[in-house]
Chain A
Amino acid sequence: MIQCASLSGRTGEDNEKKGFMELNAIYVIVAREFKKFIREKSRLFSAIARPLLWLFIVGAGISRLVPRDTGVPYTQFIFPGIIGMTILFSSIFSSISIIWDKEFGFMKEILVAPVSRLSIVVGKALSGTLVSTMQAVIILALFPFLGFKLSMIQIIAVVFICASVSFCISAFGIVLATFYDSYESFSVIMNFIIMPMFFLSGAMYPVKLLPDILKVVAKLNPLTYGIDALKHVLFPRGLGSMGPDFSLVTDAAVILFTSFIFVFVAGKAFERKQ
């Protein structure tokens, strides 16, 4: 009887069933991450504490150095950058949990399952998207305290951008995770990838004020475009020299395009080992 069941499952494996299997897999990968995220209160706490420190301590300090005639207070200027930072950290952390999964074996459970490697990557990227967007929304909720007056449309637009950027950075994190096999590499990723990505993203200072060589690096950083898009929405009247560096269309195109590239590369990397 048991064999009959498994046999009929196999013969009836048409496209519809296949699609259903892939959606099931994506759903359960996201559900697992979400469940673990809810359970680890300390993770949420530190994820929220970091941007608050930057916003109210670093931001408050630096604001004294910045000339006051730039149109907005410095703490307002860095707000999109701090939202971007929240997304950057939580997306990469979520994705490089794959390294944990590899180290503790759970990745094998996923890899021997009859689901396409692309679904695994998309599932993981959406996991990062979900937890990052949630955290970004918590930070976004601080806007009244910083003197912003946002319309409902602006808020929806910010959440939408946050989700897109989270997906992109999570997919990038998965690509990173495929290169590393042990958690020892974590500090390397932290110091040589996450921190430079943050500093060269236009979060703390406009990209156009950077020295030429750093400007090039910032332009290769997908987060730059995400933060730039947030600036477009949060400062609709512009900020002059402190304002966005690219057009909103450029931002959207770069985020969309790089997301595809990262998902594709990660999907390839998850194929069978040689």
Chain B
Amino acid sequence: MPIIQVENLVKRFGNITAVNDISFDVEEGTIFGFLGPNGAGKTTTINILCTLLSPTSGRTLIAGHDCMKEPSRVRTAIGIVFQDTTLDKDLTAYENLVFHAYLYAVPKAEMKERVNDVLKFVDLYDRKDDLVKKFSGGMKRRLEVARGLIHRPRVLFLDEPTLGLDPQSRTNLWEFITGLPRKHKVTIFMTTHYMEEAEVCDRIAIIDNGKIIAIDSPEELKKTVGGDVVSITTTDNESARYEIEHTFRMNVAEKENALYMTCSRGDTCIPELIRTLGERVLSVRIQRPTLNDVFLKLTGKTIREEEASGNDSVRESIRAHRRRQ
């Protein structure tokens, strides 16, 4: 049985549809990614799954428990790292974790050991008695992940876990996150709008305007783009271009003194190109398709363009709607 089951989930705020009839399953022990621009409905879905928000319609089950009917069981089975920090900055790292342990009724005999274990796991044991307000963004995020693991959840939700972190902390955090399913036997459900970060997922759902437009492994998704982009520079671009077009029957584009073509498999295409063109080849580059190319192909826009457009205003109006309630 899948650990997370979502069936025909819909969420409307007034006349805004934030989540528009989505369905998917997540298998236990995997890393599942929700990929999409800001305002696509990722956080709304997470809030419904972790029992903070009730859906307009549809059904969500976690570990076999209905999020609406058995919230307490669902809450026991999940850990969450929200987009914005939810630590108490005026308490120490240790106190934050003990607070959590009490809330989740961790047996007293085990409490200290478990808290210390997760602190060591995220490399914060030395800082355990420092107030959280003295921590950097990366440390706070690691502490939150640690906190989410104390009660040994079966699913850990990570909502934009690297948002606002510097590149080095991001890399460290990812290394750490990808080790979690193995080390802690936990399923990861994460959202991100950074394409490169979604690569670590076993499966990805690409979501745009509240709808899932594709769901598959990163490899399979990238295959839909249609191959690798190969670019070469030569001593004589004109003759090389003529030869490639006639021998390989490929479309060649010339841009800034380089020739670009799409091969279904770049790794076998390059040796053939070099054999044909011989010593005229100066350099060769192969570019695997990225998830960005996938998103571009599916929606006709890149995630960055999307961010710059009206999505902030969608968020704003959702907030305004909530305030009115």
Contacts and interface: CB of A to CB of B under 8 A. Distances in A.
Interface of A: 2-3, 5-6, 9-10, 13, 17, 20-21, 24-25, 27-28, 31-32, 35-36, 39-40, 104-116, 181, 272-274
A6 B153 contact: yes
Contacts of B50: 112
A107 B184 CA distance: 26
8 contacts: A10-B76, A17-B105, A32-B99, A105-B82, A109-B147, A114-B76, A273-B322, A273-B325
Contacts of A28: 98-99, 102-103
Among A17, A25, A32, A107, residue most surrounded by chain B Cβ atoms (within 10 Å): A32
B185 A273 contact: no
Contacts of B151: 6
A272 to B, nearest CB: 5
Interface in B54-80: 54, 71-73, 75-78, 80
Contacts of B95: 32, 35
Contact of B105 (A5, A24, A35, A112): A24
B163 interface: no
A111 B78 CA distance: 13
A272 B53 contact: yes
B54 A25 contact: no
B170 interface: no
A269 B51 CA distance: 15
A105 B87 CA distance: 7
A106 B154 contact: no
B52 A114 contact: no
Nearest to B107: A9
Contacts of B84: 105
A28 B100 CA distance: 9
Given A2-B184, A6-B76, A6-B152, A113 B89 contact: no
Contacts of B322: 181, 273
B85 interface: yes
Nearest to A107: B86
A6 B154 contact: yes
B316 to A, nearest CB: 14
A18 to B, nearest CB: 8
